[in-house]
Structure 1
Amino acid sequence: MTGRIGNIEGLEQDRRRSVGIDIFLAIADLVVACAVTWLIIWYFLMPSAHVSDQDAGADSPANRPWRDPEDWSKWGADLDSRSHRLLRPTIISALLTAPVLVLDLFDRFGPELIPSWLTSPWVQAILITPVIFYCGRGILMDGWKSMTEHRCSPDLLAMLATSLAYLYSLATCLAGSLLPEGSRSPYFDLIGVVITLLLLARVIGTRMEASLVASLNHLTEIRPASGLVADSKHPQTVPAQILARDRIRPGDLLLVRTGERPAADGVVESGSALVDDSELTGGDRPRPCGPGDRILASSKILEGRLSIRVDAAGDNTYAARLVKIIPQALVERSPAMRRMDRIVNTAIALIMILAVWTFMLWLMLGPQPHLAHAVGNAVCVLTIACPAVAAMTIPMAFRTSLETGLAHGLLFTSPRAMNHLGRVRTLILDDSSLLDPDDSESQGVHAESLTRTATHLRSLRVSSLILDGSRQPDDRIERAARQAGVDMLITRLTPERKRECMDRLIHDLTRTSRGVPADRTGQDTASAGEQGRTSLVALATGTTADPKLTARAQVSITLGPKLQADTDDATDDIDLPHPDLILHQGDLDGTGRAIELSRATTQVIRQNLTWSTVYNVIALAIATGICQPFLGWMLNPMIAAVTGALSTILAMLNVRRLHRLRHLRRRWLHLALIDTDQLPTVAARRPQVIVDSQWESMQEGKDPAAAMD
């Protein structure tokens, strides 16, 4: 009896000792988790990390090639070679991962069908080790670089997940007998799948960038190095000489023949030819050119001979300006990009913290085997998270839309410009955008183009307004405005009065969703949260517009490839930035296409960001194992890895849709070909015509914004 009581007391002491050890281990786990959490916050999120808004995200795969706008041309060959370099390790990774997956399936469902030596984890280790250290070397190095620079990047999550899985799997090979039963299953198959899918995503992203860079490099390659220049005073008697394009000056007489490209911009003085400038303007067919027509440098003469009087040469040609503007647009990081970089940096740090606490809580409170469940769920959290979608969406969408716009004669000069164009609700047309520049008397009006533009803008719920300062005796602009059915026409304006009207219209027509006026830059002065819903006013001008009027515009649109800042010496004291949109072909309806493309880009960005937010919240909740107490089910790390990688690839393919946009192309083509007499403009709307003398009474009484409703 005494011995039995002693045994009971011994068991009770062992139980108390075990409980004490469990409490000690639980406290130790909590202390370690808190310490690692503080370390992550201090290392990545504290100001000591020294991550500026401009540098955050600058080294991501989506932004790295555009760091230096001066050296952008070399990135074409670099991207092409990088795509080939990525393709080889991707194929090798897939080939080495495939047998590991097959062996894992046989081991789970038919171990008797394969030899016993194939079920050894060392076989998988031999196959996967080259995958992680050779094929995935770039991912590991990028992740390590991010960590040393105090930056949180998707590559850092991939490095942590694959490193944790590889070390645990290697431990099962070296000391599997020392691990508890149920904790001896390696994760080599998971490592192979993660590396392969991430490499595939990099290949897709690199090829998307390479397609844009190839088209930009083509602009440089087609620029002729020299041109045949005739003597301006004696073109018939003095032999022509070949000059380098940098030596050609305005006023020179440039001679071009069939198959050649002019080395400077100018106006045809004599001759006729069929000219293809689609590579510069996005035109769909060659156009015949004769005396008085404008020719751009790098256009191709398909047939004929031309004598061109040069008015822009060297770096002032449109092709040269295009080569400078596009890289600057790609380098510029909009406030939305910088804000998203900060959000992604914080989100990745929180994901790492979540993985730490998932590991510790499962190790402390989870069912047996504790270690296997802790490692599995922590790896699930790191691999299923998809912050790369939010990080890459805005820059990749802008680059894709930029390439699409160039194919349709549209050049967005910056991501901010594209964002602003998508928020335009009123388009002001200056008379310089309506007058035919080829008409020496300035009496020609693009009536049909105005009709198509007004119809297109109405379908987009964008109001159209004309500022007429031409003072034409027969009121051609007024008749064209009435025929097109624009919303308002303010006529007989002097340049000073036109600028005053522009300021008043911007003040009254720029409204946020709460009705609070925004300033000239489109920023809501009342609340930063309303800025994304601010309606903006755009101004479309020709190449002869008043520069002071253009400088007042919230969103500036220039029609025609001749940029005013290069030719107007009288405006050197005015700070004239690049216009937000350049319409290569000078087609007024390009404004509607640009607004529609900008809105489609914004829609794709919102779709990806919404998908990324909803997906990450749900996926991370499932990956932590929160369903196990209720459903008895936990997420397989393999499924988590595949889901995380595929979500990134699907987001890239969604951005890729901006290359096609079949429904928009059909609309644009139908509107370009339809007879304007068939458009429902004359009977549908009548413009409110305001003479300049009536503008004062309108300022004192009725609000111009009311007339646009």
Structure 2
Amino acid sequence: MTAAAKLRFEIDGMSCAGCAGRAERALQAMPGQTEATVNLAAASGYVTLTTATADDIRQTLKTAGYPAREDVIVLDIADMSCASCVARVEQALTAQPGVIAAQVNLASETATIRTLRGAVSAAELAHLVTDSGYAATPRRGDTPAGSETDKITPARNAFALAAVLTLPVFVLEMGGHMIPAFHHWVHMNIGVQTSWTLQFVLTTLVMLWPGQVFYRKGIPLLWRRTPDMNSLVALGSLAAWGYSTVALFAPALLPEGARNVYFEAAAVIVTLILMGRWLEARAKGHTGDAIRKLVGLQAQTARVERHGALIELPVDEVHVGDTLHLRPGEKVAVDGEVLTGTSHIDESMISGEPLPVAKGTGDTVIAGTINGTGALTFRATGVGSDTMLARIIAMVEQAQGAKLPVQSLVDRIVLIFVPVVMGVALLALAGWLLFGPEPRLAHALVAAVSVLIIACPCAMGLATPTSIMVGTGRAAEMGVLFRKGEALQQLDEITTVAFDKTGTLTAGRPELVLLAPASGFDADTVLRLAAAVESQSEHPIALAVERAALSKDLDLPQATNFTAIEGHGVTACVGEQTVLIGNPRLMIRENVDFSPLSGTAQAAAAKGETPFFVAIDGQLAGVFSVADPIKPSARPALQALEAAGIEVAMITGDNATTAAAIAAELGIRNVQADVLPEGKADAVRKLQAKGPVAFVGDGINDAPALAVAETGIAIGTGTDVAIESADVVLVSGDPAGVVNALDVSIATMKNIRQNLFWAFIYNIALIPVAAGLFYPLLGWQLSPMLGAGAMALSSVFVLTNALRLRRISPAMPITSQE
């Protein structure tokens, strides 16, 4: 920051003059400022900056305990054609006072800017970018101002028009070189001067009509000393056109041996690059397919109960608490809770799980899913941007706009790339003029124009963002949401995956796994009476017993005189019988002999289950055992991770016996049990000594570990706190999603490396050829037309390679967790 800038911004958390004073003193102590004041009434601060930045203000206030309020502004930007455009826009934005960080995405043509609230407006930032040469508008609402499909037709039409005008030029000039008889025919019937004049007219039309974009955008940027890809094309084609125009209208200005025309080169350069941009627009149109599919899942209308009548309303007019009716085959309009009816709903488009999920009273339904053959009524619990589908779309868009760490090298290179290319073109021109064979001027022109045209920062700029867009979009279709695009690279580098147990590897809901009746008792009778008693309790174990009885369609009688005995169990009367349910201490207290089934209970406890006894009228009736069942896909998922060379660990707050039993069943060797919530983060740090760690969890107590791990993976069926702390969310709650997330990450990073390798090697290999370095040894001198074709195809190659990610199949199928 070269000059002092006075910045106003909003501050959070101040409740008194003391708070304002502390915030003010913190700002005044911050290096790089000359004046700082805080206004409590307006909840704002004013700082005159010299060398400090908006991020310095943010960090200072965060440390002081009074964080600055932040905004995220999205701009839609037109006219960016290459990575150097991206770098310049980012440079202009980050230099603006009040901007904390800015990320520009060439593939989606957007800029995401994090600012201090109140310091700068979206309109001001859009004006700044527009002044830099790239038309920008603030994003309104949640949808882009335009889509890539809107650009395909104009790009195709521009190429088609240029091709029609260029074809006669190419045939007249190159046809004569390839077919001597045609050259003689042109010379005899049309004449060289007439042929050159016709080429001049058609080439000029190509440049001024379909090709005007290169000059309209490239020349002003040259004057601003911020040249981009358009500038290179403009310089190259103008050089060929200008030289040819002099040769046609003022030949005396050129040496006799150099009086040649290169109109076909100028026309073909423009035409081929327009073709490349058309193909690029077509390919880029597919990179956002995933988002368009997700948006297409949203229902447009809903049948809602209002004032005693059933009416059809636009989905935007549905409110939380409304009762909605869902017919067979209809799309669920908003998130809700089923009130009446039963059905099966296809949730594959959200979770990736192929089988329809049974729904009944109390179950949740998700916007965008498809109802089966049953009819349901449900109460709206999430509408608009609060539905799961809307949150998924927002997560995917955020991830697609991310910039990976691997991109930082590219950014540093492309910022100076175009000026360096222009320097190389000048050196090539000078070298040929000084040392080249005759006609030197013609050779020098071909070399300089070829260097300008062959250089392609477009491919560099598209290499990373297109792969991110396609990879994260495909992952979303598989039920894996990358909340942060950076997680794509981080997940590719992990060496250990640590899992929480309850709700992550297990269902998180106890189920009855053992019912052993005592001699003289029937299992169903014991279960029926026990469930009648437990139906009076909300304890998870009681609910497990009740569910087991209902699953067998047992009729539960009414229990009376229910009493909970703290630390022991419960008792109640069912008809004329007294039922006692609890641990050994309760049996001892009530003088019930439980020795006949004590061995069974001990064996269940050794497996990590929770056993308890049932007595009827003072006599042992049976032993029950409940356990949190392991999710069906947990073991195959862990085996797949280990097969990929990744160490698996389990970190749980459960006791060592239960943890050891679950770990043994799953084949996990590294187990840390009895870990308090705050200790989970420390456990992750210990694992990080071996390398980067991914932690998978679902609860509030997992949030610290999710935040500390290089990659936090939240089970989508878990708490909002866990999801907000995570980098990746598995919508279905299936551990197989971890394997799929890793597979997508590996495939996407491999794709990015391929793209970057191609983009860099292309330039490293072909720029020297274009400059003529191999001419003395091998006689190689690249034609500007071939350079233009290669340049156009390089971007198309990168985009086509990225689109291969759409074909990624799930490494493991998602299964029902019911």
Q: Does 1:436 align with 2:507?
A: yes
Residue of structure 1 in register with 2:710 after alignment: 554
Q: Does 1:615 align with 2:615?
A: no
Q: Does 1:83 align with 2:155?
A: no
- TM-score of the superposed pair, with normalisation by structure 2: 0.64
Query: Shift of residue 345 of structure 1?
Result: 1.8
Aligned mates of 2:105, 2:631 — CA distance in 1: 48
Aligned mates of 1:613, 1:223 — CA distance in 2: 41
2:803 to 644, 656, 662: 656
Q: Does 1:199 align with 2:381?
A: no
- Equivalent residue letter for 1:382: L
2:791 to 630, 634, 644: 644
Q: Mind listing any 5+ residue stretches in structure 1 that lack a counterpart?
A: 1-42, 232-236, 511-535, 569-575, 674-709
Q: Does the C-alpha gap of structure 1 residues 131 and 471 become closer, same or farther in structure 2, counting only changes over 3 Å?
A: farther
Residue range with higher mean Cα deviation, 407-416 or 136-145? 136-145
Q: Does the C-alpha gap of structure 1 residues 390 and 249 become closer, same or farther in structure 2, counting only changes over 3 Å?
A: same
Alignment of 1:26-425 (within 5 A): 51=92, 61-65=106-110, 70-71=139-140, 74-75=143-144, 77-113=146-182, 114-116=185-187, 117=190, 119=192, 120-144=195-219, 146-147=221-222, 150-224=225-299, 227-228=302-303, 253-425=323-495
Residue of structure 1 in register with 2:33 after alignment: none
Contact 1:58-1:64 within 8 A present in 2 as well: no
Aligned mates of 1:172, 1:336 — CA distance in 2: 48
Residues 373-425 of structure 1: CA distance to partner in whole angstroms, max 9, x if unpaired? 11111011112222222221011111111222122222222331211111122
Residues 460-512 of structure 1: CA distance to partner in whole angstroms, max 9, x if unpaired? 22111111224598x3x644432332342222333233343233333x233xx
- Equivalent residue letter for 2:149: D
- Equivalent residue letter for 1:494: L
Aligned mates of 2:229, 2:762 — CA distance in 1: 16
Q: Does the C-alpha gap of structure 1 residues 99 and 395 become closer, same or farther in structure 2, counting only changes over 3 Å?
A: same
- Equivalent residue letter for 1:316: D
Aligned mates of 2:104, 2:320 — CA distance in 1: 42
Query: Shift of residue 591 of structure 1?
Result: 1.2
Aligned mates of 1:177, 1:348 — CA distance in 2: 34
Contact 1:424-1:538 within 8 A present in 2 as well: yes
Say which structure is richer in helix. 1
Q: Does the C-alpha gap of structure 1 residues 72 and 310 become closer, same or farther in structure 2, counting only changes over 3 Å?
A: closer
Residues 43-102 of structure 1: CA distance to partner in whole angstroms, max 9, x if unpaired? 99x99x965668999778534246578447553754222111111111222233333333
Contact 1:256-1:307 within 8 A present in 2 as well: yes
Alignment of 1:380-529 (within 5 A): 380-431=450-501, 432-436=503-507, 443-471=627-655, 475=658, 478-506=660-688, 508-510=689-691
Residue of structure 2 in register with 1:579 after alignment: 726
Query: Shift of residue 352 of structure 1?
Result: 0.9
1:105 aligns to what SS in structure 2?
helix
Q: Does 1:589 align with 2:736?
A: yes
Contact 1:297-1:318 within 8 A present in 2 as well: yes
2:284 aligns to what SS in structure 1?
helix
Aligned mates of 2:95, 2:711 — CA distance in 1: 24
Aligned mates of 2:387, 2:758 — CA distance in 1: 44
1:274 aligns to what SS in structure 2?
strand
1:509 aligns to what SS in structure 2?
coil
Query: Shift of residue 430 of structure 1?
Result: 1.3
Q: Does the C-alpha gap of structure 1 residues 424 and 564 become closer, same or farther in structure 2, counting only changes over 3 Å?
A: same
Query: Identity of aligned pairs, percent?
Result: 26
Query: Shift of residue 447 of structure 1?
Result: 3.7
Contact 1:413-1:578 within 8 A present in 2 as well: no
Residues 135-190 of structure 1: CA distance to partner in whole angstroms, max 9, x if unpaired? 22223333235435543432322222122222222222222354223322222222
Q: Does the C-alpha gap of structure 1 residues 92 and 177 become closer, same or farther in structure 2, counting only changes over 3 Å?
A: same
1:303 aligns to what SS in structure 2?
coil
2:343 aligns to what SS in structure 1?
strand
- Equivalent residue letter for 1:564: D
- Equivalent residue letter for 1:98: L
Aligned mates of 1:488, 1:211 — CA distance in 2: 44
Contact 1:460-1:596 within 8 A present in 2 as well: no
Contact 2:291-2:473 within 8 A present in 1 as well: no
Q: Does 1:628 align with 2:775?
A: yes
- Equivalent residue letter for 2:709: A
Residue range with higher mean Cα deviation, 317-326 or 631-640? 631-640
Q: Mind listing any 5+ residue stretches in structure 2 that lack a counterpart?
A: 1-83, 113-136, 511-539, 545-626
Q: Does 1:538 align with 2:700?
A: no
Contact 2:460-2:759 within 8 A present in 1 as well: yes
1:433 aligns to what SS in structure 2?
coil
Contact 2:432-2:444 within 8 A present in 1 as well: yes
Q: Does the C-alpha gap of structure 1 residues 277 and 126 become closer, same or farther in structure 2, counting only changes over 3 Å?
A: farther
2:645 aligns to what SS in structure 1?
coil
Query: Shift of residue 632 of structure 1?
Result: 4.0
- CA RMSD for the aligned pairs? 3.6
Query: Shift of residue 538 of structure 1?
Result: 1.0
Aligned mates of 1:203, 1:57 — CA distance in 2: 28
1:411 aligns to what SS in structure 2?
strand
Residue of structure 2 in register with 1:668 after alignment: 811
Contact 1:561-1:585 within 8 A present in 2 as well: yes
- TM-score of the superposed pair, with normalisation by structure 1: 0.73
Residues 347-389 of structure 1: CA distance to partner in whole angstroms, max 9, x if unpaired? 2221111111111222233222221111111011112222222
- Equivalent residue letter for 1:509: K
1:461 aligns to what SS in structure 2?
coil
Aligned mates of 1:470, 1:249 — CA distance in 2: 41
Q: Does the C-alpha gap of structure 1 residues 256 and 212 become closer, same or farther in structure 2, counting only changes over 3 Å?
A: farther
Aligned mates of 1:437, 1:137 — CA distance in 2: 64
Q: Does the C-alpha gap of structure 1 residues 405 and 145 become closer, same or farther in structure 2, counting only changes over 3 Å?
A: farther
Aligned mates of 1:239, 1:52 — CA distance in 2: 53
Query: Shift of residue 585 of structure 1?
Result: 2.1
Contact 1:152-1:346 within 8 A present in 2 as well: no
Say which structure is richer in strand. 2
Aligned mates of 2:338, 2:94 — CA distance in 1: 49
Contact 2:341-2:374 within 8 A present in 1 as well: yes
Structure possessing the higher radius of gyration over alpha carbons: 2
- Equivalent residue letter for 1:463: E
- Equivalent residue letter for 2:283: M
- Equivalent residue letter for 2:504: S
Aligned mates of 2:710, 2:784 — CA distance in 1: 50
1:275 aligns to what SS in structure 2?
strand
Q: Does the C-alpha gap of structure 1 residues 493 and 229 become closer, same or farther in structure 2, counting only changes over 3 Å?
A: farther
